[in-house]
Amino acid sequence: MNSKIIKILKKKNKSKIICLTTYSKNVAEAIDPYTDIILVGDSLGSVLYNYPTTRKVTLEQMIEHSKSARLGVKNSLMVVDMPYRTYANKRIALKNAKRIMNETKCDAIKIEGGSSIIKIVEYLIKNKIPLMGHLGILPQSVKGKFKFKGKKTKERNKIFNDAKLLQDKGVFSIVLECVETTLSKQITKSLKIPTIGIGSSQNCDGQVLVLDDLIGLNETKTKFVKKFGRVKKNISQAAKSFKKEVLSKKYPTKKYSYN
């Protein structure tokens, strides 16, 4: 097993796991000293390309962004999302997973779903693809508004059983997206592998956020997103200062010219 995955597994019940998304090299470089896992998520569809859902994201987009991110990831475990329809059956899934692993040199792959994709999960793991699961809200399957998961008993049981099933088949951790607080606690306590929460409370073994949201580059107002920065404002401020200095001929001075 990849030594970085072993490190992540050992953190269970000891120390929180820090995971962030990125889609490019410079950002990966900036966050890598502070993360255990860097995820090249298919959220790039909505965050960068303004797609209404992640379903339009292609394998090629994931590969190109991951290749860029790879250049900046040194210490963290790098995980890449398999986009919609790229794991429609076992054969297609393995071909595409191998392509992602080979071309991006990532450490692991993430796919969305539980019992409905369990044969695919089993097949990928049997063929030595390290896998991260994803339960709760599954953005590739949602039509319309996102609602948190685990309010009703039937839904709670399904997510809980799916988590157990994924663990039994060999995933090394599971992202829980917008899972109700007591359910995320129950799942995290019952599993030997770590859970990584997004909008799923303190009860998970780790936390993940979309970087553009937490740095304030993406102006989302999602309940679970705390803004840790104001990067969009900083960019506007820099552009404004540049414009002012160019118009007033303050920039470029001799110092910034070839003489």
Binding residues (CB under 6 A) for ligand KIV: these are: 21, 39, 41-43, 81, 175, 198, 208, 210
Annotated active-site residue in 103, 112, 122, 177: 177
| Side chain identity at residue 212, one-letter code | D
How far is Cα 17 from Cα 154, in angstroms, rounded to an integer?
Answer: 29
Nearer to ligand KIV (CB atom), residue 116 or residue 236: 116
Residue 47 · residue 231 · CB < 8 Å: no
Residue 133 · residue 175 · CB < 8 Å: yes
3-state secondary structure (DSSP) of residue 18: strand
Nearer to ligand KIV (CB atom), residue 28 or residue 210: 210
- The H or E element that residue 29 is part of is helix 25-31
Q: How far is the CB of 208 from ligand KIV (least distance, A)?
A: 5
Comparing every residue's Cβ against ligand KIV, the nearest one is 41
Tokens encoding 72: 């900046």
Q: How far is the CB of 136 from ligand KIV (least distance, A)?
A: 10
3-state secondary structure (DSSP) of residue 230: coil
Q: How far is the CB of 255 from ligand KIV (least distance, A)?
A: 42
* Active site annotation includes 177: yes
Nearer to ligand KIV (CB atom), residue 80 or residue 124: 80
- Catalytic annotation, residues: 177
